[in-house]
Amino acid sequence: MRAVLVRVALVGVVTLAGGGCRRDMQDAPRYDPYEVSTFFKDGRASRHLVAGTVARGQLHEDAAIYTGKSADGFVSALPFPLTHAVLDRGHERYDIYCSPCHDRVGTGAGMIVQRGYKPPPSLHEERLRKLPLGYFFDVMTNGFGVMPGYAPQVPEDDRWAIAAYIRALQRSQHASVDDVPPADRGALDAPAPGAPSGVKEAGHGAS
Amino acid sequence: MPQVFHRSTNTFSRVSIFGALFFIAAATYGLALINRSAYVTQAGVARAQPIQFSHRHHAGELGIDCRYCHTSVERTASAGVPPTQTCMNCHAQIWVDSPVLEPVRASYRTDTSIRWTRVHDLPDYVYFDHSIHVQKGVGCATCHGRVDQMNLTWQESSLQMEWCLDCHRNPERYVRPRAEVFDMAWEPPANQLDLGRELMRTYKIQRLTDCYTCHR
């Protein structure tokens, strides 16, 4: 009888103790991104890589791709073939990361500049039009003057795509009739879209 | 033998039998309502933050693209909370004396993280990935609402499983062209169902309703 009582008591104690170990499944014993850590002194669960870490495929052997510079100075060509897709990508990334200051056509009157940031030079200045692509890649990577570097926000291939798009923007502001394929020149005489023609233009901008 | 109860109590018994059924149904319905209410889901409740950051100002009034700060939303599960450096890209020169921004500057000076209050927190047994939703044409605003009109940010949707399943069962009602994913003001066209079915073919969108799609 006594042994039975001891067993019942033991089961009860183990059950109660086990109940104390309750863990809600919605909060698993792992860290979410950016979660507060009590283990690390700085309280960050998301850790910086240990200095000198090289991930597989990220040895960056070809310095020109990651710095925009070679032994002869800034490189002047893209490290990959220029395609329409690259320009479209550069266009999209330029609008996201550059247009807040440089504005969408590159004259340097973006919204943040209108709010008081020091204005950047126009990308269409003679000096900037003559600089090689690698220069723009370098400025995007490391910053220049008051412009911060964008390497943490924009990966290398996107920075190159943006550099290509900047060149396209520059050419767009200094294009001549010779740049238009002969077959398309007839279209130049057509009235520009949005030109006053008596037809009311459909508004589609943000109000 | 005399009857224990008077004839009039028959009515009481009939009403109470029906009443019990009615009471159970009403209680079930009431509990279901409570479980979907903002009191439980916290949907629509703006969270207090260490800094009064306004998406309305940054994304709405200034027109900064979502991806300027949430850089990894197209590539990884987490959309990415910007590091203090991203704030300082502009605020190194703008509003430099503002007391509102002192916690940002302090974070930058001392290399300590700003402890934002998390707004969207799914249970850990759900595996959610932003990148695949963005790639398949689910707009930011479809789940997050008009963040570009929120001052302090709140969770727009319930984040309950029936809410997820509504779209996983009927993607054609919600998907949009990839180019419009980050356009907060995009409205579904009148022929959304046709467009949605077309996009489901183009983007190879499946009706993913297996448990293991999200729970694994």
Q: What is the pLDDT of residue A21?
A: 66
Within a domain: A134: yes
Which residues in A41-74 are b (16+ Cβ under 10 Å) and which e?
A: eeebeeeeeeeeeeeeeeeeeeebbbbbbeeeeb
Distance from CA of B89 to the nearest CA of A (A): 6
Distance from CA of B17 to the nearest CA of A (A): 40
Beta carbons of A153 and B112 less than 8 Å apart:
no
Q: Which among A25, A95, A96 is the nearest to B124, CB-wise?
A: A25
pLDDT at A206: 40
Q: Which two tokens stand for residue B152?
A: 């302090």
- Residue B67 sits at the chain A interface (C-beta within 8 Å): yes
Is A113 part of the contact surface with chain B (CB cutoff 8 Å)?
Answer: no
Q: What is the pLDDT of residues B168-185, one digit of tens each?
A: 999 999 999 999 999 999
- Chain A interface, best mutation among B54, B68, B112, B184, by max A CB count within 10 A: B68
Question: Does residue A189 belong to any structural domain of this protein?
Answer: no
Percentage, residues of chain B above pLDDT 90 = 90
Q: How near does any CA of chain A get to the CA of B171, in Å?
A: 26
Closest Cβ–Cβ partner in B65, B81, B115 for A96? B65
Give tens-digit pLDDT for B117-127.
999 999 999 99
- Does residue A144 lie within any of the structural domains? yes
Q: In the structure encoding, which two tokens stand for residue B31, read together? A: 């509990």
Q: What is the DSSP letter of A74?
A: E
Contact A148 B85 (CB under 8 A): yes
Phi, psi angle pair for B65, to nearest 5°: -65, 145
Does B90 reach chain A within 8 Å, measured CB to CB?
yes
Q: Does B98 contact chain A (CB < 8 Å)?
A: no
Instruction: Spell out which residues of chain B touch residue A25, defining contact as CB-CB under 8 Å.
Output: 123-125
Whether A95 maps to a domain, the answer reads: yes
Residue B1 has pLDDT above 90, yes or no: no
Touching check for B113 and chain A: CB below 8 Å? yes
* Domain count within chain A: 1
Task: Flag if B89 and A97 touch (Cβ within 8 Å).
Answer: no
- pLDDT at position B186 is 96
Given B62, B67, B112, which is nearest A111 (Cβ)?
B62
CB contact under 8 A, A27 and B65: no
Q: Which residue of A lies nearest to B78 if distances are taken between CA atoms?
A: A33
pLDDT value at residue B173:
97
Tell me if B125 and A153 make a contact (CB, 8 A cut-off).
Answer: no
Report the CATH number that the domain containing residue A87 is assigned in CATH: 1.10.760.10
pLDDT at position A203 is: 42
A46 located within any domain: no
CA distance A98 to chain B (A): 9
CB neighbours (10 Å) of residue B68?
22
CB A188 within 8 A of CB A177: yes
Distance from CA of A48 to the nearest CA of B (A): 12
Q: What is the pLDDT of residue A199?
A: 46
The answer to whether residue A25 is domain-embedded is no
Distance from CA of B23 to the nearest CA of A (A): 32
User: What is the structure's pLDDT at B17?
Assistant: 86
DSSP string, B53-95: --HIIIIIIS---HHHH-TTTTTSSS--PPPHHHHHHHHTTSS
Domain boundaries, chain B: 9-36, 55-81+118-214, 82-115
pLDDT digits (tens, 9 = 90+) for B19-59: 899 999 999 999 999 999 999 999 999 999 999 999 999 99
- Judged by CB atoms within 8 Å, which residues 117-136 of B form the interface with A? 121, 123-125
Q: Give A44's contacts in chain B (Cβ within 8 Å).
A: 113
Q: Identify whether A191 is part of a domain.
A: no
Regions of chain A where pLDDT drops below 70: 19-23, 194-207
